[in-house]
Amino acid sequence: MNSIKYMSNYGSFKKRIIFAFVEYFLSCTMWLLIDQYLTYSVFDNAIAKNSAKTLVFVAILVIVKQIFKTTEGIFHCMVRHHLQREYANHARKDLFSKFINTKISYFDNANTGEMLELVMNDTGNASTFFTQNGLISFGNLCVKLPLLLIILLFINFKLTSILIIIYLIGYLSLIISNKKTFKLISEIRDLNILITKWITEQVNNFELIKSINIEDVRLNKMNELLEKYTIESENLDKLIRKYNFSYTLFSFLASITTTCIGGYDLSASILSYGTLMLFINGTTSIKGYCDDLVMHLPRLNESFISMKKIYNYLKSYDPEIEKGELELKEIKKINFNNVSFSYDNAREILSNILIDVEKNDKIAIVGRTGCGKTTLVNLLCKFYEVTKGDILINGKNINEYTLKSLRNNIGYVMQDVVMFDGNIYDNINYAKKDISENQIQDICKRLKLHDKIMSFSEGYDLNLSKNQDLFSLGEKQMINFARIMVEDPSVIILDEITSSLSYENEELVKNAVKEITKNKICFIIAHRLTTIKNCNKIIYMENGSILESGSHEELINKKGAYYDLVRG
């Protein structure tokens, strides 16, 4: 219920929902009363009294009613589809906004399949509530059915009471069956998430799968997942068929009982022809409403499950909290004062880190895998909060600055280069800075990338997402560097940028590093000696602590852990 309430929070969307339900309630009331009046007029006035005048009047009224009802049906269809589109768009924007603004720690253990399912499939499934399958079936159950039963109770209490008892028994059996259906649909959804996640992993690691020749193993695993999905789907179909059959029996029993008892009362002059026909029509309508609900119940269950999943995520959403108010113009000095950090408050990843960084310093952070190098620079970007100690920027606590101004002053270049959809201009100016195409070309010239780009007929208009193979890994990294130069931050972080490059590409990147780090503070995380030996300070980390620090020559002469790393 909370999930339905939540979707009404979308501003004007809430008003449209209220309007749709009020309009639907009023129209249902009007058409039900008119239908009862027409039935009674035909059988108890026109036919019983042989009144041609009444019959002609009723015929005209039926035609007029049908015209208005058709027009209203078209209007309802437009409203439903508008609500469906608006809900799906609002939900996707809301979810994506939460993904973008959530704490980065959420993505450490995030399920890719779950995220894709939420944004794409769940929003689509939830929005189907507003189609004829959902909104009309739900409206029939909540509006038309109660109204029709009230009218029938006033006409003949006994017959209506019998009808209600039979359908209540059928409804209770439906509720019991639907709990199992709801559970099965949830399990199928979770299985679909697993399949989506698994396929995504295979696509992302396609080269690895090919290189170690495990295509058959991956295909067998896929077949296992699909087989399990098929079995669960078949079990759901069997359950749906069972409750469809049982509910059909109750509907048939209600129709037969009403007709038999009504026929007996008619022969005993207790009922008139018009009253009996009202009941037969009413029973047929009730059966139609219930049959429609039962037929669309699996789809409604999917909608409600998706709404619940969306609501639960948005409810548990953990946003980045903006603590600072100061705008950071430039980073001139950084101090790590006894900084410690733990992801789970159980095991320390960093312990008592002390680092002082001045403007133009080039700091290399080295150590074996898992020693905390990347975690250290992630704290500077405020991807995580320090557990103990302080990070000072220009003498002030890092929390005093706004997140946006802090991150605008930090350029983070990672090992994996991401090429976005669009041409080279779009990729380089991905942050949408106020910079001209000529300025972008000047940057590429400084990085020795301009000639390569101009060798293509499209030049800077070349679509990168479709032509990535035209660039080496080193050249792609140059595009990444160009992005950083466009942003012009005061701190550069280079995280293992040469670890997967060939010698030629490494030389290309090494020369570009000198260009992008001019007059800037730079943190370099690397293993290769050629990348770090010219840094004015090298920090060797082990098990989350700083074991040694100094220049390359100082640490080599010390013949400690850094010396062993270089020589080993």
Q: Give the model confidence (pLDDT) of 537-555 as tens digits.
A: 999 998 889 999 998 888 8
Q: Give the range among 28-37, 61-70, 123-132, 223-232 with minimum mean pLDDT.
A: 28-37
Residue 347 has pLDDT above 60, yes or no: yes
**Distance in angstroms (rounded) separating the CA atoms of residues 76 and 93:** 26
pLDDT cut 70: percent of the chain above it:
81
CA max distance for the chain: 119
Q: Express each pLDDT in 278-293 by its tens digit.
A: 777 777 777 777 777 7
Bigger pLDDT: 409 vs 479: 409
Q: What are the backbone angles phi and psi of residue 525, rounded to the nearest 5°?
A: -100, 120
Residue 35, pLDDT score: 66
Closest CA to 156 of 35, 40, 50, 290: 40
Predicted local distance difference test score (pLDDT) of residue 568:
65
Residue 327's pLDDT is 92
Using CA atoms, how far residue 461 sits from 439, 485, 553, 557, in Å, is: 15, 19, 46, 51
Backbone angles phi, psi at 393, to 5 degrees: -115, 120
Indicate the helix (H) or strand (E) that contains 524.
strand 521-525
Structure tokens that stand for 43 in this block = 């059988």
Mean pLDDT for all residues in the chain: 79
Regarding predicted confidence, which is higher, 318 or 12? 318
**Two tokens at 403?**
């997140």
Q: Stretch 299-313: mean pLDDT, rounded?
A: 81
Tens-place pLDDT, residues 413-422? 877 777 777 8
pLDDT score for 409: 92
Confidence band of 339 (pLDDT split at 50, 70, 90): very high
pLDDT at 51 over 90: no
Give residue-wise pLDDT tens across range 164-202.
Answer: 888 778 777 777 777 888 888 888 888 888 888 788 778
Q: How confident is the model at residue 356 (pLDDT cuts 50, 70, 90)?
A: very high
The pLDDT assigned to 483 comes to 86
Q: Which residue has the higher pLDDT, 67 or 505?
A: 67
278-292, 317-331, 351-365, 530-544: segment of lowest average pLDDT? 278-292
CB burial of 256-281 (b: ≥16 within 10 Å; e: otherwise) equals ebbeebbeebeeeeebeebbbbbbbb
pLDDT given at position 53 = 64
Q: What is the pLDDT of residues 144-165, one digit of tens each?
A: 777 777 777 777 787 778 878 8
* pTM, to two decimals: 0.69
pLDDT digits 0-9 by tens, 196-246:
878 877 877 777 777 777 878 888 888 888 898 888 888 888 888 877 777
Q: What are the CA-CA distances from residue 195 to residues 13, 92, 224, 477, 551 (Å)?
A: 34, 21, 10, 33, 51
pLDDT band at 23 (very low <50, low <70, confident <90, very high): low
Answer yes or no: are the C-beta atoms of 20 and 83 closer than 8 Å. Answer: yes
Question: Residue 8: which H helix or E strand, with range?
Answer: none
pLDDT of residue 491: 92
Q: Each residue of 426-457: pLDDT tens digit? A: 888 877 677 888 888 898 888 888 888 898 88
DSSP state of 543: T
Render pLDDT for 248-281 as a digit per residue (tens, 0 to 9). 777 778 778 777 877 777 777 776 666 777 777 7
What does the block give as tokens for 23?
């309009």
Q: What is the pLDDT of residue 286?
A: 74
pLDDT at 505 over 80: no
